[in-house]
Amino acid sequence: MTVIFALWKRNIRAFWRNKPALIFNLVFPFFFIFVFAEIFRNDYIENAISFMLAGIIIAVVFDSAIRISSNTIDDMTSGFMREVLVSPVSRLTIAIGQFASSATVATLQGIIIFVVGFAIGLRISSPITILYALLAMLFVGLVFAGFGLFLATRAKNIQTFQAVSMAITMPMTFLSGAYIPLSMLNDFLTTVAYFNPMTYAVILFRSIVLERTGDPTEQLIMQELAFKVGDFTIEPVHAALILAAFGVLFLLLSTISFIRLDFSRMNRNKNDSLEIE
């Protein structure tokens, strides 16, 4: 537990020290509000700003959980991981520390957007909703921290990780309903969205923030908070279960990949990239 906390504390400090990235991550999401908010205005969505903000917040949590995993590559190439492994600490413990710190940083990013959102139109009637929203952000952060760590352990250098993560996160975000309603996608893209774990993260978080989890099925569908797959309707509770299944899969894959990784053969070359000797 001490090692997990030490790794967690180290990565949290690195997050707060990176002020330019912190400011950029705060400003950039609000650009999407003014660009995309209008397409969410209809007779069934009462507050388009809250609707859009909920999608942006969880998209920030998702993107941060993936991107923060790049720190793992820095730790691998700098020799930090090899120094940690000299101590009698299991790789599983180290992996848990990486999961926890990535999920915490991602959640903090989401909380910042969440708090600022109240100044531009986000409305919540019950304090318990805030608690549920925080738990949902942490849940989503953990799910995608596993995915990010898996990508980090498979990438050969930081440049490869950045290219691969961008190629994956952009389509996943735009095919999740966070920025563009699923009802506006064609049949092929809608089918792809069904296999996108971010789709279920957006449905879950949006229904919590809008306080619509108890609405009838037909109303949830009209409000873009549920959708039909054949004769079955995916509602927020189903989205939580599906997301949990993805989380277990990602955590297993990333943990296995991390445990099997040979840190002793990794060094930083002159171009600051990862090189397998």
**At CA 234, angle to CA 233 and CA 235, rounded to 5?**
105
Return the minimum-mean-pLDDT range out of 56-70, 226-240, 255-269. Answer: 255-269
pLDDT at 157 (0 to 100): 73
Dump pLDDT digits (tens) for 44-64.
Answer: 667 777 888 898 899 989 988
**Number of folded domains in the chain?**
1
CB 43 within 8 A of CB 132: no
**Full domain range(s) for residue 36:** 2-276
pLDDT at 276 (0 to 100): 35
CB 162 within 8 A of CB 128: no
Percent of the chain with pLDDT over 90: 26
CB 200 within 8 A of CB 242: yes
User: Given a cut of 90, is residue 245 above it in pLDDT?
Assistant: yes
Residue 228: beta bridge partners? 233
pLDDT at 241 (0 to 100): 96
Is 262 exposed, middle or buried, given 0-12, 13-18 or 19+ CB atoms closer than 10 A? exposed
pLDDT at 277 (0 to 100): 36
Dump pLDDT digits (tens) for 188-234.
Answer: 999 999 999 999 999 999 999 999 888 899 989 888 899 988 889 99
CA 148, 151, 157, 160 torsion: positive or negative?
negative
pLDDT at 272 (0 to 100): 43
User: Given a cut of 60, is residue 170 above it in pLDDT?
Assistant: yes
pLDDT at 156 (0 to 100): 64
Mean pLDDT, the chain, whole residue set: 80
Dump pLDDT digits (tens) for 19-47.
Answer: 666 676 677 776 777 666 666 666 566 77
**Residue 8: pLDDT band with limits 50, 70, 90:** confident
Dump pLDDT digits (tens) for 85-139.
Answer: 666 667 777 777 777 888 888 898 899 889 888 888 788 888 899 999 999 999 9
User: Given a cut of 60, is residue 176 above it in pLDDT?
Assistant: yes
Higher-confidence position of 220 and 271: 220
pLDDT at 269 (0 to 100): 46
Dump pLDDT digits (tens) for 152-168.
Answer: 888 767 778 888 888 99
Residue 276: beta bridge partners? 266
Report in angstroms the alpha-carbon separations of 132 from 36, 63, 180, 226, 257: 26, 20, 24, 19, 32
Residues 6+ apart with CB under 8 A from 80: 74
pLDDT at 199 (0 to 100): 95
**Residue 246: pLDDT band with limits 50, 70, 90:** very high
Q: Tell me the CB-side half-sphere exposure of residue 70, using CA atoms within 13 A.
A: 18
Higher-confidence position of 272 and 157: 157
